[in-house]
């Protein structure tokens, strides 16, 4: 007799999202004026070089993503007893906390961390190479990086963890396939071909066995970056940001401290355009002039930066709204969508808007009714009014939001027919891969919040919609305000009292199971399958 059990519920607790400070808004202005992207590729959570991710994101102002092949299910756990899928959930959240600090974006494939592998041939046979390669090509075509950097060496199979080398091999192969219309042509219904300009291997002395060997190595094909400049606007060295980011990998014991002084990172050119300088973007256009109708937008943003008032960022709103209209009219879909979303967030932060969609209970079940509270505060002197609120809550409203006066409404909603479960655990996968049928979800770090209130506002004559997810907020005596993602649960959840049950013969054996009803007046029959 064979039993199969799976528990796939997790409550995610997050820190309250605070509006940006005047200095952070200034940094975001610089980022909006930069059109460049970098994708870092490795195998596991904690493989990423947070120094480089922070450097590209915060100092080069580039869109910077980390593509991890796995969620780290096969690792160990320093802070608890969770292993396998439960550990993968924890390490996913650790990565998301790290990206909040270093400014990167997080992506995954459906490859499973099945444990240590001695050779990439073994890894790729278990992972299903073509399937994972397809996902990497899709991410390149969607993210459109100018530069790809992989953490491990694709030329040394068998010298390191098979997952590590496999991530580099797949990254190198995907570099050549992303612009090939014959490679995974079904993707071209959703994304377009793309050719990254350069691909680097993020090498260091440990790849050469010792610092002495590395000193003797030929570095003619490498560039050297000081990854520890100081950011005077925010008053911090890059290593301070990187160390805080890396220290989020708590389950793996990766807490680290910042270093002072120069810290060199070495990038070996693997593919792409030769460099004439130490600048990884040498010869790559990173300004608005790279796209049609972009030059004028760049000039307008430069003017906003020059006129920026650190203490009163809302003064830039009129100019930002003008830029927003021009970006929304761009023919270039890729940058239109990216920069309009960045600008919407920047306008919200410049005004200091606080928009919330809350409920007084942490969980609910489909088709049941819950009470929600909608809140909005506009601390700026600019004219802001609500036009409507729609999505999972419907509210016809034509209300001016007076300066610093709280607007709020109570609204009951019927919960949708969904379950808030990590999407990669919804179906039975195998040892090497999670099974994800919904192609739109593949690569995302977590399941998007399915309950959204769209606040459509009139800001000084411009119409902008802000999607706000439903959250459960509570006050803890120790932690203060705690914000949890609202969870949609099944009507009934079950859990075995024992995680391991051993049958040493063919005789029946009693097992205990906890059954919890998440709605009132539920009845049914429990069977082992």
Q: What is residue 406's predicted lDDT score, i.e. its pLDDT?
A: 95
- Calpha distance 228→207 (Å, rounded): 21
Q: Are strands 487-489 and 363-365 parallel, antiparallel or unpaired?
A: parallel
Q: What's the gap between Cα 400 and its chain centre? A: 34
Classify residue 378 by its DSSP letter. B
Element of type H or E holding 469: strand 462-469
Q: What's the gap between Cα 295 and its chain centre? A: 30
Q: What is residue 19's predicted lDDT score, i.e. its pLDDT?
A: 57
Q: What is residue 501's predicted lDDT score, i.e. its pLDDT?
A: 87
pTM of the model: 0.92
Q: Are strands 63-68 and 105-108 parallel, antiparallel or unpaired?
A: parallel
- Calpha distance 240→454 (Å, rounded): 37
Q: Are strands 452-459 and 462-469 parallel, antiparallel or unpaired?
A: antiparallel
Listed in sequence order, the DSSP H helices in 382-427 are none
- Calpha distance 302→295 (Å, rounded): 11
Cβ atoms of residues 119 and 164 within 8 Å? no
316 exposure class (CB count in 10 Å sphere: 0-12, 13-18, 19+): buried
Cβ atoms of residues 326 and 301 within 8 Å? no
- Residue carrying structure tokens 């003797």: 216
How many residues does this entry show for the chain? 529
- Calpha distance 21→14 (Å, rounded): 20
- Calpha distance 494→500 (Å, rounded): 15
- Calpha distance 273→173 (Å, rounded): 17
- Residue carrying structure tokens 């029946």: 508
Smallest CA-to-CA distance from 22 within 433, 456, 350 is with 350
Q: What is residue 329's predicted lDDT score, i.e. its pLDDT?
A: 95
- Residue carrying structure tokens 């005077």: 232
Name the class of domain 352-416+451-529. mainly beta
Smallest CA-to-CA distance from 448 within 477, 421, 481 is with 421
End-to-end CA distance of the chain: 10
Smallest CA-to-CA distance from 339 within 63, 45, 122, 47 is with 63
Cβ atoms of residues 473 and 483 within 8 Å? yes
The rounded radius of gyration (Å) of the Cα atoms in the chain is: 25
Q: Which residues contact 264 (CB under 8 A, 6 or more apart)?
A: 224, 225, 226, 227
Q: What is residue 12's predicted lDDT score, i.e. its pLDDT?
A: 45
Cβ atoms of residues 217 and 207 within 8 Å? no
- Calpha distance 419→426 (Å, rounded): 10
Q: What's the gap between Cα 160 and its chain centre? A: 27
Largest Cα separation within the chain, whole Å, is 80
Smallest CA-to-CA distance from 274 within 347, 224, 226, 220 is with 220
Q: Which fold has domain 36-286?
A: Rossmann fold (3.40.50)
- Calpha distance 523→520 (Å, rounded): 9
Cβ atoms of residues 375 and 356 within 8 Å? yes
- Calpha distance 338→346 (Å, rounded): 12
Instruction: Note whether 36-286 and 352-416+451-529 share their fold.
Output: no
Q: Where are the domains of the chain?
A: 36-286, 352-416+451-529
Q: What is residue 9's predicted lDDT score, i.e. its pLDDT?
A: 42
- Calpha distance 80→86 (Å, rounded): 10
- Six-digit token string for 510: 């009693």
- Taking the CB of residue 22, how many other CB atoms lie within 10 A of it? 15
- Calpha distance 334→60 (Å, rounded): 20
pLDDT tens for the chain, 529 residues long, are: 333 334 344 444 444 445 578 899 999 999 999 999 999 999 999 999 999 999 999 999 999 999 999 999 999 999 999 889 999 999 999 999 999 999 999 999 999 999 999 999 999 999 999 999 999 999 999 999 999 999 999 998 888 899 999 999 999 999 999 999 999 999 999 999 999 999 999 999 888 888 999 998 988 999 999 999 999 998 999 999 999 999 999 999 999 999 999 999 999 999 999 999 999 999 999 999 999 889 999 999 999 999 999 999 999 999 999 999 999 999 999 999 999 999 999 999 999 999 999 999 999 999 999 999 999 999 999 999 999 999 999 988 888 999 999 999 999 999 999 888 899 999 999 999 999 999 999 999 999 999 999 999 999 999 999 999 999 999 989 989 999 999 999 888 888 888 788 999 999 888 888 998 888 878 888 887 7
């Amino acid at each position: 007799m064979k039993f199969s059990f799976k528990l796939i519920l997790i409550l995610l607790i997050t820190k309250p999202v605070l509006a940006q400070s005047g200095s952070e808004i200034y940094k975001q202005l610089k980022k909006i004026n930069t059109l460049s992207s970098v994708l870092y590729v490795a195998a596991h959570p904690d493989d990423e070089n947070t120094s480089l991710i922070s450097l590209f994101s915060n100092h080069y102002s580039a869109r910077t993503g980390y593509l991890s092949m796995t969620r780290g299910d096969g690792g160990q756990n320093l802070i608890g007893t969770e292993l396998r899928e439960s550990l993968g959930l924890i390490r996913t959240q650790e990565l998301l906390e790290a990206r909040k600090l270093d400014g990167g974006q997080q992506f995954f494939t459906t490859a499973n961390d099945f444990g240590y592998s001695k050779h990439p041939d073994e890894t790729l046979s278990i992972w299903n190479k073509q399937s994972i390669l397809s996902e990497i090509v899709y991410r390149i075509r969607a993210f459109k990086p100018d530069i790809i950097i992989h953490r491990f060496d694709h030329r040394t199979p068998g010298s390191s963890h098979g997952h590590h080398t496999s991530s580099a091999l797949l990254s190198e192969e995907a570099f050549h396939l992303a612009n090939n219309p014959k490679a995974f042509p079904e993707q071209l219904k959703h994304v377009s071909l793309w050719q990254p300009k350069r691909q680097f291997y993020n090498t260091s002395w440990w790849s050469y066995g010792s610092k002495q060997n590395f000193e003797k190595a030929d570095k003619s094909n490498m560039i050297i970056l000081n990854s520890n400049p100081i950011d005077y606007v925010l008053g911090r060295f890059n290593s301070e940001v990187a160390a805080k980011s890396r220290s989020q990998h708590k389950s793996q014991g990766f807490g680290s401290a910042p270093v002072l002084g120069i810290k060199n990172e070495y990038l070996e050119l693997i593919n792409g355009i030769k460099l004439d300088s130490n600048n990884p973007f040498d010869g790559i256009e990173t300004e608005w002039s790279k796209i049609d109708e972009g030059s004028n937008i760049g000039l307008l943003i430069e003017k906003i930066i020059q006129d920026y008032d650190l203490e009163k960022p809302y003064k830039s709103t009129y100019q930002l709204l003008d830029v927003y209209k021009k970006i929304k009219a761009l023919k270039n879909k890729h940058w239109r969508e990216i920069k309009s979303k960045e600008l919407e967030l920047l306008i919200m932060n410049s005004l200091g808007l606080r928009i919330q969609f809350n409920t007084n209970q942490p969980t609910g079940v489909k088709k049941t009714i819950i009470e929600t509270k909608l809140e909005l505060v506009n601390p700026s002197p600019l004219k802001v009014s609500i036009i409507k609120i729609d999505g999972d809550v419907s509210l016809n409203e034509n209300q001016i939001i007076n300066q610093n006066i709280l607007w709020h409404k109570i609204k009951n909603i019927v919960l949708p027919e969904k379950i808030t479960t990590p999407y990669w655990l919804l179906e039975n996968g195998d040892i090497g891969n999670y099974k994800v049928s919904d192609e739109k979800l593949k690569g995302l770090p977590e399941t998007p919040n399915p309950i959204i209130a769209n606040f459509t506002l009139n800001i000084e004559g411009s119409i902008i919609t802000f999607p706000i997810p439903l959250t459960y907020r509570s006050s803890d005596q120790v932690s203060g305000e705690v914000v949890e993602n609202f969870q949609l649960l099944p009507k009934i959840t079950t859990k075995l009292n024992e995680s391991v049950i051993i049958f040493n013969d063919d005789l029946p054996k009693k097992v205990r199971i906890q059954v919890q009803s998440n709605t009132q007046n539920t009845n049914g029959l429990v069977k082992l399958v």
